[in-house]
Structure 1
Amino acid sequence: MATATHPPGTAPVKPEFLLSSVYRPAADDDAAEGATSHVGNTTSTGPTIDGEPNQGGRKKLSKEQKKAQRGANKGRRFGKVRDELELCWRVANGAMCEYGAECRFTHDIPSYLAAKPRDIRLPPASSLATAPPFVFTDDTDQPAAEGDLSSLNFGTTCPCFEEAGECRLGLKCRFLGAHARKDENGVLTLVTDEEKKSRIALTNSELNQVSAEALKLLRQRKYPRPITDAYLKELEIANQASTEGKDAPAGEGEKEDTIESGAQSAETAITKRAGEATDQTDTPDVPTRFSEKKRLHWSGKTYLAPLTTVGNLPFRRLCVSLGADITCGEMGLATSFLTASREEWSLVRRHPSETTFGVQLAGSKPSTMVPTAEILGREFAGGIDFVDINCGCPIDLVFRTGSGSALLDAPAKLGKIIAGMSRALGEIPVTVKLRTGVKDGRNTSHKLMPRLSSEWGVGCITLHGRTRQQRYTKLADWGYIKQCVDAVRAREADEGLPPVPIFGGGDCFSSSDYWSNVDSTGVDGIMIGRGALIKPWIFTEVKERREWDISSRERLELVRKYAEFGLTHFGTDTAGVNTTRRYLCEALSFNYRYVPIGLLERLPGRINDRAPAFKGRDELETLLASPNSQDWVKISEMFLGPAPETWSFTPKHKSNAYGEEAQG
C-alpha cells in the first residue's frame, strides 16, 4: 500500500482517503476561547455595529465602534427564537393566569395551536444510518381530524416526558403529541405518567437551582454574609495595624508579607457559620480547619475541564455517560453572581449523574470572591463538591481586571482570596486551576504551587502546561509540569502534610497521551479540555486504555444523545429547541476536527495536527468531518427539525466560518 508524504504537523491520512493536497485552515482555538471578535468580518446579512448594519468586507471602524466590539466574540448574536403567537406558560400548563386579560401572552389555546409549528419527531437511535438521508423513519404522523390540532404529531416522543413522566412546557412543547390527548368532551388535555414521575423524579431532576428569594436579596444587597463581613473586617484591621507600624512605605516583598499576615490572622478568628441566623451572636462556631475539610481522593479519576460556552450541562452529561468522573461548571464571574445575574447562577446547575461536581469562579478581590463563595456554600451545601478558583484564563477581558491568569503574579492577593473562601465554604474544599506563568520564558508556578498546598490548604491543584502569553501557539510543557509536581511533593514531605491531588493539562488527545504523561510526571490525573470537545469518547478510551476507532453511526448516536440532553435542560418549546440547536452546533464546531483513527497511517492522532481534505469510509463519516457550518445546521435538523429562516450559526473559530453567513 502506498504511503503518503505529509509535511510536519499534519495528520497522516492514508492516501486512499485524501481528496487533494489542500489542507484545511488551522482551527483558531484562541478565537474559540474568547480572544477574537467577529464583528466587522461578516456579510451584510450579519450583525450590526452600534445599531448600524455592517456592509461587509473589512469596513474601517470608528474608535467608539472598536471599543464596543472588544471582548469575547461580540459578533456572535444568538437571539431567542420564539413562537409567532406566544401562549401564556400558566395556561399552557392548565393553570389560571393571575393577570387575566392584562397578560401580555395569549390565552387563546385554539388560535395558538393553529399557528404553532408542526411537532418535531426525535428519531430513535435504531433509525440512524450511514447513508443519506442518515435518519430513516416510518411516517407515523397521526394528526387529529380537527384543523386546530393539525400541528400535533401523535407518533412523536417528548424527551422531557420520557425522562420525568411529565413535560414542564405543557402545550408549548414542540413534541406535544407525545403527552396530549382529547377527552370525551373534545377538550385537549395533558397526560402525566404518575408512576414514572414518582419513580425517577429524584434521579433526573437537576440540582442547584437558586431560589427567587435569594436572588431578590442579592439584588437588594441584603443577602446575609456574616463570614465575609468578619473576614474583611479582620483584613482591614490587620492592614491598618501593619501600616501604622511602619515609618516608610513598604517595598514589594514587605507588602506581600503584610497582606499574607493579614490573611493568616483572619483565618484564625472566630465567626458564625453561614447557615445560622445573623442575630445568634451567642453561638459562634470555630472556622473549619484544613484537616476538617473534605479530602479529595481523585487519584486515577478522569476530569472534564471547565469550558466556557461549550461546557454546559448537556455536554457534561454526555461526557459523564462516556466515562468522565469529575466535572466542573463553566467559569462564572464573582461580580455577576453578586448582582443576581440569572445567566451566571444557571452555571451552577448540576445533573444527578455528575457524581463529583464543582463550580469555577473568576475574580480579583476578596471582597467579591469570598461573599460569592459564602453564598454558594449556604445555598448549595449538599450540591457542590468543590469550588475552583480560575487562575488560568488568558483572555484580555478577564486578565485586565486582575482575574484569571493575572492572579499568578499576585500571590499575596491570591492567598487572601483562598483563605477567605476556604472559611466561607466550610467543609467544601477550594481548588485552584493555573497556568505555568504569565509571560513566555518566565514560569512561576513551581514557586506558587507548594504554597497553595502547604500554606493555603487548597484541596487540589490543576496546572495547564502553557503560559498566558503562549495561548495555544506551542505544545504544553509536560517537563515543567513534572518539575512543579516534584516541588509540591518535596514541600509536603518536609512538612509532613498529606499529598493533595495534582492534575496536569494540555494537548491530551488519546489514551496513550494520557497514561504516558501520568507515568512520566507523577500527576494524579489529567484535566481534559479540547480533547473532550473534539472527541468526548476520550474518557472511554482512558478508562479502557485503548484507542477507539468509533464508527460514524456511533458518533451520530452521540449527537442524538446530546440533542436529547439539551432538550431536557433548555426546554422543548420553540425557544428551547433552538437554544439546543445553537449549543449542538457549538459542539459540532469542535467534533468535525476529529480525524477517524482508521484513516490514519500511524497512531495515536495528535490534537494539533492539521488535517488535509479527506473523505470518510462512508458518507456519514464524510459529513461529520465537514468544516462547513451549514452542514452542522443540517445535522441539527435531523433531530431538532428545520431551523427557522431567521436563524443562523456563527462559529467561535474564525477558520470555521466557512458558510456564507460568515464570509468576508
Structure 2
Amino acid sequence: MSVLPPGTAPVKAEYLISIDPLAPPDDDAAEGSGGQSSRSGRDANGRDQEGWTGPGKKKRSREDKKARQGQNKNRHFQKVRDELDICFKIAAGAVCEFGADCKFNHDLQPYLAAKPPDLRMPSVAELLDGSESTLTICPVFQEFGECRYGFKCRYLSAHLQKTHSGDENGSLSLIVDEGRKAHAAISAKEVNYVGAETQKLLRTKKYPFPITDAYIRELQEADKKEQETDAERKRLKEVEANGNPAPVADEAQQINGHVAVIQQRTATDALLAPQADADIPDVPMRFTEKKRLDWKGKTYLAPLTTVGNLPFRRLCVSYGADITCGEMGLATSFLSGSKEEWSLVRRHPSERTFGVQIAGSKPHTLVPTAEVLARECGSQGGIDFVDINCGCPIDLVFKTGSGSALLDAPAKLGKAIIGMNKALGEIPVTIKLRTGVKDGKNTAEKLMTRAVGGEKGWGVGCISLHGRTRQQRYTRLADWDYIKQCVDAVRAREADEDLPPVPIFGNGDCFSSQEYHSAVERYGVDGVMAGRGALIKPWIFTEIKERREWDISSRERLDGIRKLAEFGLTHFGSDTSGVNTTRRYLCEALSFQYRYVPIGLLEVLPGKINDRAPRFRGRDELENLLASPNSADWVKISEMFLGPAPEAFVFVPKHKSNSYESQG
C-alpha cells in the first residue's frame, strides 16, 4: 500500500506520478470549480506546481503565487454570433411580418454562402474507434421533429432538403417529421415559459397581487396592534413608577385582556387561522390541505448555481435523480421581470418532481414572488414545490438579509413561509438550511421544530439541512451528528402533536452509495441531497439506486459528456450563439468533473469527496484527458461534439490555477 500524506486519495502505486497531493479545490471561493494545479507538476513556464522553479528550485515569488491563486472574479462571456446574420423568421422558413422594414437581413443565399461548414455530433464509438460517418445529426431535430433554428442551425444538413423546381440549384426547404413532432409535444417540450407580457407587467409594477396585498395588510395590522400594546405596557410602567394610582378597574381589565390576547396569539400565529375578511380574494388553504411530499427514499439533486441548469438536471435524471430543483433565483429579480431570472424556472418533462428555489430577505418580496409562480406556472403543473434558500453563504446574498442571514431572523422567515403557503395554494413550501451562521452557535434545531406543520407551526413541506455553518463554508466536514439531533427534535414534536411527518434531507460530503445509505440508516434522514458529489460524478444517482460503487470507464464518462452537450443544444439552441452557450456550460461542468479520481485506481473504497488527489496517470489517454485541471483541455473536450471553438470564444475558469497550461 502506498504511503500517502493524510487526506490524500489512496491511489494505487502503479498509477502514482507523485505522492505529493495537489492544492485542494477552492469550494469556498469558486463553488468547487477547482483550485488544483496540473497533475503533470509543471505550469506553462516550466515551474513546479508547488512553487519551485527548475533545477535550482528557487522559491516562486509571492506576487506570482498570489496571481495564480483565488478566484477569477467578474467573469464575462461574450455571445458569439454569425458574421452575417439573418432574420430569425426567414431562417425558420416563415414570413417576417416586418418585411422590408425588418432590421435583419432577409437574403438567404448570401447568408448560407458565408455560413461556416456544418458541425457534426459524432458518437463516442466514432470518436474513439476512428470510424467516420458522413451522417449529420441535429439534436434539436432528433428530439422535436423540427429544428426551430432552421437555416441558422449549425447542423443544418440533418434537416435540409433540396427540391428541383426548374432553377439551376433548385430550392431549399426545411424538413419536418410530423410524427416525432407530435410525440415531442408531450414528452420533450419544456414548460414554465413566463412570457414577455408578464415580465413587462412586473417591470412596470402593474402585475396584480391580491393575495400578497391582503397578507401584507394583515401583517401591518398585527404590527400596529403589537405596537399599541407595547406602548400601553410602557405607559402603565411609567404610571406605577411615578407612584400614581393604578387605572380604574375597567381600563386595567381592558388593557390586561388585550395583553393576554397578544400573548396567547402572536401576530404570526394569528395569520395561521382561516380569515373571513371580505378583502381576501380566496379562502386560504390550511396546512392539512397542502399537497403532501412523499419523498422518503428518493434521490434529490441540490439546487446548484451556474452548473445546475436544465441540461445538467436532465443528465442527472438520466442517471436516476428523482427530485430536481432549479438554480437559486432572487425574489427581487423575479419581481422586476428579469428575463434571465425567469429562465431559471424552466422544466423538462423528464424531471419527475421539480421545484424552484428563491432567495429573499422579507415577506414583502418572497410572498409576491410565490404568488406569481403559482399563477404563471402552478396551473400547468410546472412546479411541485417552492424552496426558500436559507443557506447561501456568499456575501452578496448574506449582506442583503437573504440566504443564511435568515437563520438569524426567524420572525421574518416564519412570516414569509406562512404568506407563501397562502399564495401558493396546494403547492408546498420547502426550506434549505445550514446549521447556523457562526461556529458554535447552531440554530437550525429551533428553526426546524417551529417550521413543521400544526396550528402554531409555519407549515413547511420538507426541510433539507446542510451540516455546516455559514462561517465554516467547506473548511470542515459536515456535522451529521447535529443533523441527527435536529431530526430527532422534529420527530419528537410531530409525535407530541400528532403531526404528519415532514421529509428531512441531510446534505454534506456524500460521495458514494455506501455513504448515502449509511447516512439514512444512522442519522434518521429520509434521504441525502447530493450537491458537490453530483457535480463531480453525476452518476452518483445510479450508484445510490443500485447500491454499488460504479467503476465507470472513461468511455462511459465521455458518453455522459456527449449527452450533456446534446441536452445543452436542445435547450440553448443549435445556432452559433446556442452552440457556444452550450460550450460554456459544458466547460463549467467539466470544471467539476475533472476532480473525479476513478475508483479503479484506488486502494481503499469508497472515495472521499474531500480527499486531495495526488498526481496520477489514468488507465488510458482519455482518462488522463478527463482528469486534466487545465481549462484549455475542457475546451478541447467540448470540441469533440461542438466543433472547433471560434476565436472569439474564451472560457475563463472560476479558479485562476485552472488557467495555466499543463506540461509533460
- TM-score with structure 2 length normalisation? 0.87
Decide whether the 8 Å contact of 1:267 with 1:420 is kept in 2: no
Residue from 14, 26, 46 that aligns with 1:28: 26
- Higher relative CO (Cα under 8 Å, sequence separation at least 6) belongs to 2
Query: Can you list the C-alpha shifts for 1:508-544, whole angstroms capped at 9, x where unaligned?
Result: 0001111111111000000000000000000000011
Following superposition of structure 1 onto structure 2, how do residues 374-413 of structure 1 map, counting pairs within 5 Å?
374-381=371-378, 382-413=381-412
Following superposition of structure 1 onto structure 2, how do residues 224-373 of structure 1 map, counting pairs within 5 Å?
224-247=208-231, 261-270=266-275, 284-373=281-370
1:190 aligns with 2:174: yes
Residue 422 of structure 2 corresponds to 423
Following superposition of structure 1 onto structure 2, how do residues 380-529 of structure 1 map, counting pairs within 5 Å?
380-381=377-378, 382-454=381-453, 455-529=457-531
Following superposition of structure 1 onto structure 2, how do residues 607-646 of structure 1 map, counting pairs within 5 Å?
607-646=609-648
Report the Cα offset of residue 136 of structure 1: 3.0
Query: Can you list the C-alpha shifts for 1:168-202, whole angstroms capped at 9, x where unaligned?
Result: 10110000000011111211111101111112321
Decide whether the 8 Å contact of 2:595 with 2:627 is kept in 1: yes
Inter-CA distance 532–116: structure 2 relative to 1 (3 Å threshold): same
Residue 178 of structure 1 corresponds to 158
Letter in 1 for 2:26: D
Residue 168 of structure 1 corresponds to 148
Letter in 1 for 2:506: G
**Residues 336-345 or 649-658, more deviating:** 649-658
Q: How far apart are the structure 1 equivalents of 2:505 and 2:81?
A: 43
Q: How far apart are the structure 2 equivalents of 1:160 and 1:313?
A: 15
Decide whether the 8 Å contact of 2:33 with 2:653 is kept in 1: no
Letter in 1 for 2:555: R
Inter-CA distance 394–403: structure 2 relative to 1 (3 Å threshold): same
Q: How far apart are the structure 2 equivalents of 1:409 and 1:320?
A: 35
Residue from 572, 576, 579 that aligns with 2:578: 576
Report the Cα offset of residue 101 of structure 1: 3.0
Report the Cα offset of residue 216 of structure 1: 1.9
SS at match of 2:230: coil
Decide whether the 8 Å contact of 2:71 with 2:656 is kept in 1: no
Structure of higher CA gyration radius: 2
Q: How far apart are the structure 2 equivalents of 1:655 and 1:500?
A: 43
Residue 106 of structure 1 corresponds to 105
Q: How far apart are the structure 2 equivalents of 1:258 and 1:430?
A: 27
Decide whether the 8 Å contact of 1:463 with 1:504 is kept in 2: yes
Report the Cα offset of residue 126 of structure 1: 3.3
Provide structure 2 residue ranges, at least 5 long, that are not aligned to the other structure. 36-43, 45-61, 65-69, 235-258
SS at match of 1:418: helix
Decide whether the 8 Å contact of 1:306 with 1:327 is kept in 2: yes
Report the Cα offset of residue 504 of structure 1: 0.2
Report the Cα offset of residue 651 of structure 1: 1.5
Report the Cα offset of residue 36 of structure 1: 12
Provide structure 1 residue ranges, at least 5 long, that are not aligned to the other structure. 38-42, 44-56, 60-70, 130-134, 141-154, 273-280
Superposition RMSD in Å: 2.4
Residue 203 of structure 1 corresponds to 187
Query: Can you list the C-alpha shifts for 1:468-522, whole angstroms capped at 9, x where unaligned?
Result: 0000000000011000000100111111111100000000000111111111100
Decide whether the 8 Å contact of 1:36 with 1:73 is kept in 2: no
Letter in 1 for 2:602: L
Letter in 2 for 1:601: E
Q: How far apart are the structure 1 equivalents of 2:338 and 2:86?
A: 26
Report the Cα offset of residue 73 of structure 1: 5.9
Letter in 1 for 2:159: H
Decide whether the 8 Å contact of 2:72 with 2:656 is kept in 1: no
Report the Cα offset of residue 137 of structure 1: 4.0
Report the Cα offset of residue 259 of structure 1: 13
Decide whether the 8 Å contact of 2:359 with 2:389 is kept in 1: yes
SS at match of 2:224: helix
Q: How far apart are the structure 2 equivalents of 1:349 and 1:271?
A: 36
**Residues 375-384 or 74-83, more deviating:** 74-83
Residue 39 of structure 2 corresponds to none
Q: How far apart are the structure 2 equivalents of 1:83 and 1:372?
A: 37
Residue 123 of structure 1 corresponds to 122
Residue 66 of structure 1 corresponds to none
Q: How far apart are the structure 2 equivalents of 1:258 and 1:534?
A: 51
Q: How far apart are the structure 2 equivalents of 1:629 and 1:248?
A: 66
Residue from 1, 6, 22 that aligns with 1:8: 6
Identity within the alignment, %: 69
Report the Cα offset of residue 269 of structure 1: 4.9
SS at match of 1:504: strand
Aligned length: 597
Report the Cα offset of residue 457 of structure 1: 1.1
Following superposition of structure 1 onto structure 2, how do residues 58-77 of structure 1 map, counting pairs within 5 Å?
74-77=73-76
Residue from 129, 136, 149 that aligns with 2:130: 136
Query: Can you list the C-alpha shifts for 1:261-291, whole angstroms capped at 9, x where unaligned?
Result: 223323435489xxxxxxxx79953210100
Decide whether the 8 Å contact of 1:31 with 1:654 is kept in 2: no
Decide whether the 8 Å contact of 1:28 with 1:654 is kept in 2: no
Residue 40 of structure 2 corresponds to none
Q: How far apart are the structure 1 equivalents of 2:572 and 2:625?
A: 27
Q: How far apart are the structure 1 equivalents of 2:629 and 2:34?
A: 19
Decide whether the 8 Å contact of 1:306 with 1:529 is kept in 2: yes
Decide whether the 8 Å contact of 2:92 with 2:151 is kept in 1: yes
Decide whether the 8 Å contact of 2:299 with 2:527 is kept in 1: yes
Q: How far apart are the structure 2 equivalents of 1:446 and 1:606?
A: 28
Report the Cα offset of residue 248 of structure 1: 7.5
Report the Cα offset of residue 224 of structure 1: 1.1
Letter in 2 for 1:301: K
Report the Cα offset of residue 212 of structure 1: 2.3
Decide whether the 8 Å contact of 1:389 with 1:432 is kept in 2: yes
Report the Cα offset of residue 75 of structure 1: 2.4
Decide whether the 8 Å contact of 1:242 with 1:258 is kept in 2: no
SS at match of 1:101: helix
Q: How far apart are the structure 2 equivalents of 1:181 and 1:502?
A: 55
Q: How far apart are the structure 1 equivalents of 2:507 and 2:343?
A: 26
Q: How far apart are the structure 2 equivalents of 1:643 and 1:123?
A: 16
Decide whether the 8 Å contact of 1:260 with 1:415 is kept in 2: no
Report the Cα offset of residue 446 of structure 1: 1.3
Residue 90 of structure 1 corresponds to 89
Q: How far apart are the structure 1 equivalents of 2:635 and 2:297?
A: 38
1:159 aligns with 2:139: yes
Inter-CA distance 260–385: structure 2 relative to 1 (3 Å threshold): farther
Report the Cα offset of residue 647 of structure 1: 1.2
Letter in 2 for 1:220: T
